[in-house]
């Protein structure tokens, strides 16, 4: 660990440099680890994750399949069935209350009331045999002692809020009567039924067409302004993150590679994996390239995560970073205001490489 | 309406011969821009209706989904034509019509000089070796019980293209060509990642040395870093083997990267067709503007400055498409004429066709 940035603040104190300095973060995740025991070995799905989030802010978590982004969100929501096969360590502090050690009943109470989740595929996350109205009414009545009629009024209000035309009539429709975009809106309406302060959206627009995606992202932005909720959006689409997030967190093999304000990370990324992601996408706003840049190889199995920096076998700059990259895990260290990077490359070298090698290829 | 329109606008743009195209542009509407000798596929007024039936015993037809409705265009040899549109636009059905997995209910499809619109399955079989498909989902398009060797060899066996002796050698060659280890011949699909499986699918498509490959969303199920690898592979194969591609996708930035020309579909019809530069730098149809402006750009600062067109509602049901211009209920430019008269697909500039009463050149990116 001879990284010059060592002098900077360490990742363990995550969040200090984040937005809204002063106020304690609404959500704080400290050294979160989620392990699954399988017949093939232990899957380290999330391996030491730190971040924090304020009310009214959106954090985008990006990563490829198997990077641990969905496992993180399920852990926050308390949706992993703890037991012999699943182990969760670390702290998840929601407004100061630790969800990891809280009893299941308490987490269930918070889920829906203070935090809610939107899934990628609303068809498989809504019950096909109940009308959309019944499902929203149910969700609302679990947390609020109100009459069925009052809950139904609330459900209609919610459908209207998320832009579903003729909300009263649509309450009696089944999920399959809704189009993909409308179903996603209904799902958002259900998630919003108890005015959650934390909303986690796991690939909320991946199954949707681009024009509908634009509508849904617009809706999420409007709702956030109205409710001042904290939002975590999980996606593999960098464009979506750029559009809706304040902060972005890049995950690879269950670990955080880079985390910071979107403007900073997109304009001055410091991790070679982030560079690879930025380089490998096609962009409408840039000149056509004859050939796409690729990241060689494939993401590792979470049972056999490479030692040292998990990205080193695919990293183009591993020789520059020195031998430590294959043996010592780099710490997530602050390199700028709210900007943290886990990389063995010296900070100056990273900035030079980004300027000279990466920027021209973007 | 369709008939009269299409008679006039049979001709299509030809990007590889700009001189010709300009010359012919004068005789607007009455010519074919692609030299017939260069034309690999030609669609004329192609239509596919899927009947909607009610009742279990005595089924009666109660309506029809107009999945593809009066589509005409050509694909030149060696060209890559991108086909974009949202779900329900009929782009996949169009791909399946050209590969004759489904039969058109109207119009004609000519492939390499042969009218294949209504040929029997038996007569289609020898033609299948010339038209191959790559599918979206690398998980469900490979039989999990077959080794990858036998998957890739299947088209060769069915077509009788390789004897027992040569089969193995040819399959190894194919696996190598798509960047897989030929030693993995005897492995099963579940031993491969999504990207590798898509390579297997590509090797299978290449086995019969096809002239045309129809790729239906070939990378949308893959991770970002793997997508680029597969797109580069398709690029290489295209230039090495001189393949012609119909590249169906909803990702407009990917389509821009790979296509020579791009067709935009909406509710079963082509509403704009142009070479890539004209489309991406000066689209004419409002729907194309909306589509392009909806693509998120991975740059937070330019994203915020960018003008966004957020369309109302969603694509209407192809069971009851709106009358006249099908886009009019969602269009911010719609006037009375759009509700009463369908705009013909006409050439506005050489090789750049659009179907809109109020088309206007606009760059939205």
Please write the tens of the pLDDT for every residue from B109-130.
999 999 999 999 889 988 999 9
Does the pLDDT value for residue A210 go beyond 90? no
For residue A1, name the pLDDT band (cuts at 50, 70, 90). Answer: very low
Confirm whether A184 is domain-assigned. Answer: yes
pLDDT for res A122: 67
Q: How far apart are the first and last CA of chain B?
A: 34
Kindly list the strands in the beta sheet with B114-115, ordered across the sheet, starting from the edge strand earlier in the chain. B60-76, B39-54, B106-111, B114-115
Question: How would you classify the pairing of strands A247-252 and A86-94?
Answer: unpaired
**Chain A residue with minimum CA distance to B220:** A206
Does the pLDDT value for residue B362 go beyond 90? no
Does the pLDDT value for residue B284 go beyond 90? yes
Mutation target vs B (from A68, A203, A214; most B CBs, 10 A cutoff): A214
- Taking the CA atoms of B308, B312, B313 and B315 in sequence, report the sign of the dihedral they define: negative
Question: CB-CB: which of A180, A214, A295 is closest to B308?
Answer: A214
**Rg (chain B; Cα; Å):** 21
Q: How far apart are CA A319 and CA B179, in angstroms?
A: 25
Report the percentage of chain B scoring pLDDT > 90: 61
pLDDT for res B226: 86
Q: Among the three residues A173, A195, A217, which one is the final residue of a domain in this structure?
A: A195
Question: Among A8-22, A89-103, B76-90, B278-292, where is mean pLDDT lowest?
Answer: A8-22
pLDDT for res A271: 97
Question: CB-CB: which of A210, A267, A298 is closest to B295?
Answer: A210
pLDDT for res A179: 80
Q: Does B191 touch chain A (CB under 8 A)?
A: no
Polymer length of chain B = 365
Does the pLDDT value for residue A197 go beyond 60? yes
Q: Which residues of B touch A295 (CB under 8 A)?
A: 225, 228
Q: Does B143 touch chain A (CB under 8 A)?
A: no
pLDDT in tens, B147-183: 999 999 999 998 888 887 888 999 999 999 999 998 8
Closest by CA to B148, choosing from B125, B126, B168, B132, is: B168
Report the percentage of chain B scoring pLDDT > 70: 90
pLDDT for res B12: 40
Could you tell me if A277 and A191 lie in one domain?
no
Closest by CA to A235, choosing from B232, B298, B88, B250, is: B298
Higher pLDDT, A361 or B327: B327
Mutation target vs B (from A62, A70, A298; most B CBs, 10 A cutoff): A298
CA of A351: how far to CAs of A10, A276, A329, A335, in Å?
Answer: 19, 15, 20, 11
Confirm whether A65 is domain-assigned. Answer: no
For residue B334, name the pLDDT band (cuts at 50, 70, 90). Answer: very high
pLDDT in tens, A150-168: 999 999 998 988 888 889 9
pLDDT for res A91: 95
Does the pLDDT value for residue A12 go beyond 50? no
pLDDT in tens, A48-82: 999 999 999 999 999 988 899 989 999 999 988 87
Cα B319-B320-B325 angle, rounded to 5 deg: 125
pLDDT for res A322: 87
Does the pLDDT value for residue A237 go beyond 70? yes
pLDDT for res B33: 60
- Asked if B352 and B284 touch (Cβ cutoff 8 Å), the reply is yes
Q: Among the three residues A149, A176, A195, which one is the final residue of a domain in this structure?
A: A195
pLDDT for res B81: 97
**Chain B residue with minimum CA distance to A245:** B300
CB contact burial A204-231 (16+ within 10 A = b; e otherwise): bbebbbbbbbbbbbebbeebbeebebbb
Does the pLDDT value for residue B26 go beyond 50? no
**In sequence order, which residues have a C-beta less than 8 Å from that of residue B163 and are 6 or more positions away?**
none
Confirm whether A16 is domain-assigned. Answer: no
CA of A185: how far to CAs of A12, A25, A124, in Å?
Answer: 37, 28, 14
Query: What mean pLDDT do residues B346-364 have?
Result: 92
Q: DSSP labels for B96-139?
A: HHHTTSS--SEEEEEETTEE-TT--HHHHHHHHTTEEEE-S-TT
Question: Among A248-262, A281-295, A339-353, where is mean pLDDT lowest?
Answer: A281-295
Report the percentage of chain A scoring pLDDT > 70: 94
Confirm whether A201 is domain-assigned. Answer: no
- Asked if A62 and A69 touch (Cβ cutoff 8 Å), the reply is yes
pLDDT in tens, A294-325: 888 888 889 999 999 999 999 999 999 888 99
Q: How far is A284 from chain B (nearest CA, A)?
A: 5
- Asked if A140 and A178 touch (Cβ cutoff 8 Å), the reply is no
Burial of residue B326 (number of CB atoms within 10 Å: 0-12, 13-18, 19+): buried
Question: Among A234-238, B100-104, B159-163, where is mean pLDDT lowest?
Answer: B159-163
Could you tell me if A190 and A271 lie in one domain?
no
DSSP state of B211: S
Range of the domain at A154: 124-195
Domain count for chain A, please give it: 2
Does the pLDDT value for residue A19 go beyond 60? no
Which ranges of chain A would DSSP assign to H, the alpha helix? Answer: 69-76, 104-113, 122-125, 132-143, 148-161, 167-170, 180-191, 210-227, 238-244, 262-267, 272-280, 318-321, 347-353
Query: What mean pLDDT do residues A350-360 have?
Result: 93
Phi, psi angles (nearest 5°) of residue B47: -135, 140
Higher pLDDT, A259 or B4: A259
Does the pLDDT value for residue A13 go beyond 70? no
Q: How far apart are CA A113 and CA A302, in angstroms?
A: 33
Question: Among A344-358, B17-31, B42-56, B345-359, where is mean pLDDT lowest?
Answer: B17-31
**In sequence order, which residues have a C-beta less than 8 Å from that of residue B236 and are 6 or more positions away?**
none
Cα B257-A215-A71 angle, rounded to 5 deg: 80
Q: DSSP labels for A85-139?
A: SEEEEEEEEETTEETTTS-HHHHHHHHHHTEEEE-S-HHHHS-TTS-HHHHHHHH
Q: How far is CA A299 from the centre of its chain?
A: 18
Could you tell me if A267 and A353 lie in one domain?
yes
Q: Among the three residues A176, A195, A214, which one is the final residue of a domain in this structure?
A: A195
Highest-confidence segment of A116-125, A204-213, B170-179 = B170-179
CA of B335: how far to CAs of A217, B38, B265, B272, B330, in Å?
Answer: 29, 40, 21, 19, 12
Taking the whole predicted model, whether its pTM rises above 0.90 is answered as: no
- Asked if B41 and B83 touch (Cβ cutoff 8 Å), the reply is no
Q: Which residues of B touch A276 (CB under 8 A)?
A: 225
Query: What mean pLDDT do residues A207-227 have?
Result: 87
Segment (H or E) for B274: strand B269-275
Confirm whether A240 is domain-assigned. Answer: no
Does the pLDDT value for residue B301 go beyond 90? no
For the question of an ipTM over 0.85, the answer is no
Does the pLDDT value for residue B2 go beyond 80? no
Q: Which residues of B touch A179 (CB under 8 A)?
A: 314
Q: How far is CA B194 from the centre of its chain?
A: 22
pLDDT in tens, B235-266: 999 999 999 999 999 889 999 999 999 999 99
pLDDT for res A290: 77
Q: Which residues of A touch B301 (CB under 8 A)?
A: 263, 266-267
Confirm whether A297 is domain-assigned. Answer: yes
Confirm whether A59 is domain-assigned. Answer: no
Q: How far is B24 from chain A (nearest CA, A)?
A: 29
pLDDT for res A11: 39
Q: How far apart are CA A220 and CA A223, in angstroms?
A: 5
Beta-carbon separation of B87 and A180 below 8 A? yes
DSSP state of A194: G
Query: What mean pLDDT do residues A233-248 have?
Result: 93
Q: How far is B303 from chain A (nearest CA, A)?
A: 6
Closest by CA to A185, choosing from A223, A229, A153, is: A223
Confirm whether A287 is domain-assigned. Answer: yes
Count Cβ–Cβ pairs < 8 Å, chain A vs chain B: 130
Q: How far apart are CA A172 and CA A175, in angstroms?
A: 10
pLDDT in tens, B37-84: 789 999 999 999 998 888 777 778 888 889 999 999 999 999 999 999
- Asked if B22 and B347 touch (Cβ cutoff 8 Å), the reply is no
Q: Which residues of B touch A218 (CB under 8 A)?
A: 310
Q: How far apart are CA B242 and CA A238, in angstroms?
A: 33
Higher pLDDT, A176 or A251: A251
**At which residue do the structure tokens 């142009």 appear?**
B274
**Chain B residue with minimum CA distance to A163:** B313
Q: Which residues of A touch B224 (CB under 8 A)?
A: 64, 236-238, 277, 280-281
pLDDT for res A223: 87
Higher pLDDT, B282 or A288: B282
Q: Does B137 touch chain A (CB under 8 A)?
A: no
pLDDT in tens, A264-285: 999 999 999 999 999 988 888 8
């Amino acid at each position: 660990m001879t990284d010059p940035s060592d002098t900077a603040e360490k990742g363990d104190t995550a969040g200090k440099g984040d937005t809204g300095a002063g106020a304690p973060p609404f959500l704080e995740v400290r050294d979160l680890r989620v392990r699954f025991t399988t017949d093939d070995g232990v899957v380290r799905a999330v391996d030491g994750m730190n971040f924090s989030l304020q009310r009214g802010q959106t954090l985008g978590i990006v990563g490829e399949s198997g990077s641990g982004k969905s496992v993180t969100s399920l852990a926050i929501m308390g949706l992993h069935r703890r037991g012999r096969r699943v182990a969760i360590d670390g702290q998840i502090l929601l407004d100061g209350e630790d969800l990891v050690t809280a009893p299941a009943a308490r987490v269930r109470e918070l889920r829906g009331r203070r935090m809610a989740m939107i899934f990628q595929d609303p068809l498989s996350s809504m019950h096909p045999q109940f009308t959309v109205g019944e499902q929203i009414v149910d969700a609302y009545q679990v947390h609020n002692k109100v009459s069925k009629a009052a809950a139904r009024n609330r459900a209609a209000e919610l459908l209207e809020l998320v832009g579903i035309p003729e909300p009263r009539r649509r309450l009696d429709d089944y999920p399959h009567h809704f189009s993909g975009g409308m179903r996603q809106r209904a799902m958002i309406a259900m998630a919003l039924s108890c005015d959650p302060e934390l909303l986690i959206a796991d690939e909320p627009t991946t199954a949707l067409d681009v024009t509908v995606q634009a509508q849904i992202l617009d809706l999420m932005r409007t709702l956030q302004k109205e409710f001042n909720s904290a939002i975590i959006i999980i996606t593999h689409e960098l464009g979506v993150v750029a559009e809706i997030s304040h902060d972005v967190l890049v995950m690879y093999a269950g670990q955080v590679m880079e985390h910071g304000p979107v403007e900073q990370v997109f304009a001055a990324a410091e991790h070679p994996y982030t560079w690879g992601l930025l380089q490998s996408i096609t962009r409408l706003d840039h000149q056509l390239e004859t050939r796409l840049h690729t990241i060689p190889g494939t993401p590792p199995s979470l049972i056999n995560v490479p030692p040292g920096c998990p990205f080193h076998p695919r990293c183009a700059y591993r020789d520059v970073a020195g031998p430590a990259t294959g043996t010592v895990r780099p710490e997530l260290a602050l390199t700028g205001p709210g900007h943290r990077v886990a990389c063995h490359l010296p900070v100056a070298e990273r900035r030079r490489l980004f300027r000279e090698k990466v920027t021209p290829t973007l | 309406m369709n008939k009269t329109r299409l008679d006039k606008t049979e001709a299509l743009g030809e990007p590889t011969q700009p001189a010709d195209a300009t010359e012919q542009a004068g005789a607007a509407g009455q010519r074919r821009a692609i030299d017939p000798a260069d034309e690999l596929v030609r669609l004329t007024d192609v239509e596919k209706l899927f009947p909607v039936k009610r009742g279990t015993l005595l089924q009666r037809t109660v309506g029809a989904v107009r999945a593809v409705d009066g589509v005409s265009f050509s694909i030149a040899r060696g060209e890559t034509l991108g086909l974009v549109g949202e779900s329900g636009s009929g782009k996949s059905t169009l791909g399946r019509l050209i590969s004759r997995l489904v039969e058109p209910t109207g119009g004609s499809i000519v492939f390499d000089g042969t009218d294949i619109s209504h040929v029997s399955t038996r007569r289609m079989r020898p033609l299948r070796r010339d038209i191959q498909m790559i599918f979206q989902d690398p998980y469900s398009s490979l039989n999990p019980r077959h080794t990858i060797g036998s998957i890739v060899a299947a088209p060769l066996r069915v077509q009788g293209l390789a004897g027992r002796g040569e089969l193995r050698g040819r399959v190894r060659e194919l696996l190598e060509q798509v960047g897989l280890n030929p030693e993995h011949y005897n492995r099963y699909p579940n031993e491969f990642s999504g990207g590798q499986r898509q390579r297997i699918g590509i090797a299978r498509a290449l086995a019969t040395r096809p002239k045309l490959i129809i790729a239906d969303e070939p990378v949308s199920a893959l991770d970002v870093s793997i997508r680029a690898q597969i797109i580069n592979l398709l690029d290489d194969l295209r230039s090495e083997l001189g393949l012609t591609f119909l590249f169906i996708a909803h990702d407009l930035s990917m389509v821009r990267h790979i296509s020579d020309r791009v067709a935009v579909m909406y509710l079963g019809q082509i509403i704009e067709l142009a070479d890539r530069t004209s489309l991406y730098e000066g689209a004419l149809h409002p729907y194309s503007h909306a589509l392009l402006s909806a693509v998120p750009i991975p740059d937070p600062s330019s994203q915020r400055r960018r003008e966004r067109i957020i369309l109302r509602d969603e694509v209407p049901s192809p069971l009851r498409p709106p009358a006249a211009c099908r886009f009019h209920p969602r269009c911010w430019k719609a006037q009375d004429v759009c509700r009463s008269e369908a705009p013909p697909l006409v050439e506005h500039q050489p090789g750049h066709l659009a179907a809109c009463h109020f088309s206007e050149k606009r760059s939205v990116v």
